[in-house]
Every structure is written in structure tokens, then in C-alpha cells.
């Protein structure tokens, strides 16, 4: 087992540790130092800051999806507060005329407190988004929540046609999940998956996962279903020798109007620009808020050498260098 793999797995475990998250939030010097590392990947701490970042991205010809960061909410009042914040996100998108959808974790709005609470709040947000012509994307979480998230998504799709879902290619179950979700309305966002999971349920990063992602992507693209190919994989997107995804789409004669490519803020923007140059719709995932602990850890886990950059960003805040 190489060092980078061990670091990545450790970061995934740290990301899910709610005690560490609480400790960071309660200690301002640590919080503000690590925030400097997180800002490379997020739209800011507030909705106003995120809206400014979103407008800047839009001006470059790329859409965004805004997410108020947080998950595993254990308090009903906090779940209701998060729901109200998301309503604010929807209104801000309209008021600022942003080219944006809204993304969320169901556990942020009450799913782990009570399934019906999560479903009720999701309905409120789906309706608010639908009424103003916006798309709402449901993000995926840890493996222990996958089934419940897919069940709630299916229930939402019985009423709303603007609710999309995220699928994680590293899970062994995803080919079956994809076939089921293809029967429902709403965009399908295909990611590799960043959460810690046991080997009997998931593939580790490497050739096996790359192959699985490509197979799932091909099935999704061939289906004609609205989709978001959300990956930074250089084997799929690098301009040399040929972008695998673009080549496949061209060879199969697939219409581009239902396809978009989505990437994370601060991660390989040149690859997104390459796909934009080919005429595809492009989107940047733009989260904001104070609960960036899990998000930062997962971004570093995806590419452990980014730890060097994170340390430098944190030290620059502390020591001014």
C-alpha cells in the first residue's frame, strides 16, 4: 500500500469524524487558518460571497450549482434553518439572474433525524425551485445512506420533474442503481465517489474504478437521458491525445444538448475549458458556508499532493508569507 493511498484513506476517515468538525468550528484560530485552504475550493462562507463568485464564473460562460454546505444534521431546528437557507439560495439565483442550479445533501435538511422530515423539506425546496424554473440536484453521501437517498429521490420524482440525483461509480451497486434511475425524470450526475467504503461494497481508485466509470458513462450517454459527467479524470478529459468522452460522443453520434460536464471549483479548470471549447455546456460545483471540513478533506483525499498547497495556504494566513 503506497503512502498516497494511505493518506487518502486517512483523510476520508477524518472527513466523516463529526468530533473533529465540531472542534474546528469551536476554535477560531484553527478555523481561520484552515479556511484559507478551503477557500481554494469553495465560493465563500456566506451566500452573498458565493453569489459574487457564481456571477464571476457565469461571466466566463460556465454555469454553476450552488450548495449550502452541511450534512448529518442532528437537530430539527438546524434542519429547518438549513431548509430556509436553501430557499434563500433559490431566491438569490433568481434575483441575481445567475445561471445556476441548487445542490444539497438530504441529511443536511433532516433525513438522518427522520426520513419524513427530510422528504418534507426536500419537497418544499423542489417546489420552490420548480416554480422558478430551476433544477435541484441531490448529492450522494456515505454508503450507509445510499438506499435511503435513492428512495427519497424516487418519491420526489413522483411529483417533480426538476430533481436530479448523483450516482457514485465506485460502488458495486451503481450499475443497477443507474438502470433504475434512468426510468425517472431529472438529471443524473455521475461522479467517481469520495467517501470511505469497505472493499466488498466499493472499488478503490485506480484502473478498476476508471473502467467502471467509463462503462457507466457510456451507458448514460447512450441513453439520451439528461446527464452531468462530473469527473476530473485525465484519462477521460485531457486534450492529449483525444478526450475519451468527447471521442465517444462523436463516434456514437450522440446529441450534445442533454450533456454537460461538471467540475469542482479550484480543480483542473483547464479541462473544463477544453470541453467548453468543444461546444458542451459546462458547470462548476460551488459550495459555501462554514461546514467545509468534510469537503476540504475529500478534495485533499482525491489528490493527496494538494496537502502541500493546503499547508501553504494555511501558513500564509498565520504567518503572512
Answer for the pair 178, 188: CB distance below 8 angstroms, yes or no: yes
- The pTM of the full predicted model, rounded to 2 decimals, is 0.86
d(C-alpha 171, C-alpha 290), whole Å = 29
- Distances in Å between the Cα of 286 and the Cα atoms of 37, 177, 213, 295 are 15, 26, 23, 11
Q: For residue 154, give the nearest of 129, 133, 180 by alpha carbon.
A: 180
* Residue 315 backbone dihedrals phi, psi, to 5 degrees: -70, -35
Q: What is the pLDDT of residues 37-46, one digit of tens each?
A: 787 888 999 9
Q: What is the pLDDT of residues 2-12, one digit of tens each?
A: 666 665 666 56
Whether the predicted pLDDT of 16 surpasses 70: no
Contacts of 22 (CB under 8 A, 6+ apart): none
Contacts of 320 (CB under 8 A, 6+ apart): none
Q: What is the pLDDT of residues 208-254, one digit of tens each?
A: 888 899 999 999 999 999 999 998 766 666 543 346 888 899 999 99
* Residue 3 backbone dihedrals phi, psi, to 5 degrees: -65, -45
Q: For residue 162, give the nearest of 226, 114, 115 by alpha carbon.
A: 226
d(C-alpha 212, C-alpha 207), whole Å = 9
Whether the predicted pLDDT of 89 surpasses 50: yes
The reported pLDDT for the residue numbered 122 is: 98
The reported pLDDT for the residue numbered 120 is: 98
Whether the predicted pLDDT of 22 surpasses 80: no
The reported pLDDT for the residue numbered 99 is: 98
Whether the predicted pLDDT of 276 surpasses 50: yes
Contacts of 4 (CB under 8 A, 6+ apart): 304, 305
User: Confidence class of residue 158 from pLDDT cuts 50, 70 and 90?
Assistant: very high
Give the relative orientation of helices 146-157 and 115-131 as an angle to the nearest 10 degrees.
Answer: 40
The reported pLDDT for the residue numbered 196 is: 67
User: Confidence class of residue 19 from pLDDT cuts 50, 70 and 90?
Assistant: low
d(C-alpha 27, C-alpha 16), whole Å = 19
Query: 95: how many CB neighbours lie within 10 A of its CB?
Result: 10
d(C-alpha 10, C-alpha 117), whole Å = 32
- Domains of the chain in sequence order: 1-41+295-321 (no CATH), 42-291 (3.20.20.220)
Answer for the pair 280, 259: CB distance below 8 angstroms, yes or no: yes
pLDDT greater at residue 118 or residue 289: 118
Q: What is the pLDDT of residues 169-183, one digit of tens each?
A: 999 999 999 999 999
Answer for the pair 161, 186: CB distance below 8 angstroms, yes or no: yes
Amino acid at each position: 500500500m503506497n503512502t498516497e493511498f494511505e493518506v487518502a484513506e486517512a483523510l476520508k476517515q477524518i472527513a466523516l469524524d463529526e468530533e473533529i468538525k465540531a472542534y474546528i468550528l469551536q476554535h477560531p484560530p484553527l478555523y481561520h487558518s484552515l479556511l484559507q485552504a478551503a477557500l481554494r475550493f469553495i465560493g465563500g462562507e456566506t451566500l452573498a460571497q458565493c453569489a459574487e463568485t457564481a456571477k464571476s464564473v457565469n461571466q466566463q460562460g460556465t454555469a454553476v450549482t450552488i450548495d449550502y454546505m452541511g450534512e448529518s444534521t442532528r437537530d430539527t431546528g438546524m434542519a429547518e434553518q438549513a431548509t430556509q437557507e436553501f430557499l434563500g439560495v433559490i431566491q438569490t439565483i433568481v434575483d441575481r439572474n445567475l445561471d445556476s442550479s441548487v445542490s444539497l445533501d438530504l441529511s443536511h435538511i433532516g433525513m438522518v433525524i427522520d426520513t419524513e422530515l427530510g422528504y418534507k423539506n426536500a419537497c418544499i425546496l423542489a417546489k420552490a425551485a420548480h416554480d422558478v424554473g430551476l433544477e435541484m440536484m441531490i448529492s450522494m453521501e456515505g454508503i450507509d445512506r445510499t438506499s435511503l437517498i435513492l428512495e427519497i429521490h424516487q418519491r420526489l420524482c413522483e411529483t417533480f420533474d426538476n430533481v436530479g440525483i448523483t450516482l457514485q461509480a465506485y460502488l458495486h451497486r451503481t450499475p443497477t442503481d443507474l438502470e433504475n434511475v434512468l426510468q425517472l425524470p431529472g438529471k443524473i450526475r455521475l461522479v467517481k465517489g469520495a467517501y470511505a467504503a469497505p472493499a466488498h461494497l466499493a472499488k478503490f481508485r485506480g484502473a478498476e474504478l476508471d473502467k467502471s466509470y467509463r462503462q457507466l458513462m457510456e451507458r448514460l450517454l447512450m441513453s439520451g437521458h439528461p446527464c452531468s459527467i462530473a469527473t476530473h479524470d485525465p484519462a477521460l478529459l485531457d486534450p492529449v491525445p483525444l478526450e475519451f468522452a468527447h471521442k465517444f460522443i462523436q463516434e456514437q453520434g450522440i446529441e450534445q444538448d442533454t450533456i454537460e460536464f461538471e467540475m469542482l471549483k479550484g480543480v483542473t479548470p483547464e479541462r473544463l475549458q477544453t470541453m467548453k471549447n468543444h461546444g458542451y455546456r459546462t458547470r462548476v460545483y460551488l459550495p459555501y458556508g462554514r461546514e467545509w471540513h468534510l469537503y476540504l478533506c475529500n478534495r485533499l483525499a482525491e489528490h493527496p499532493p494538494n496537502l502541500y498547497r493546503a499547508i501553504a495556504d494555511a501558513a500564509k494566513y498565520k504567518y503572512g508569507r
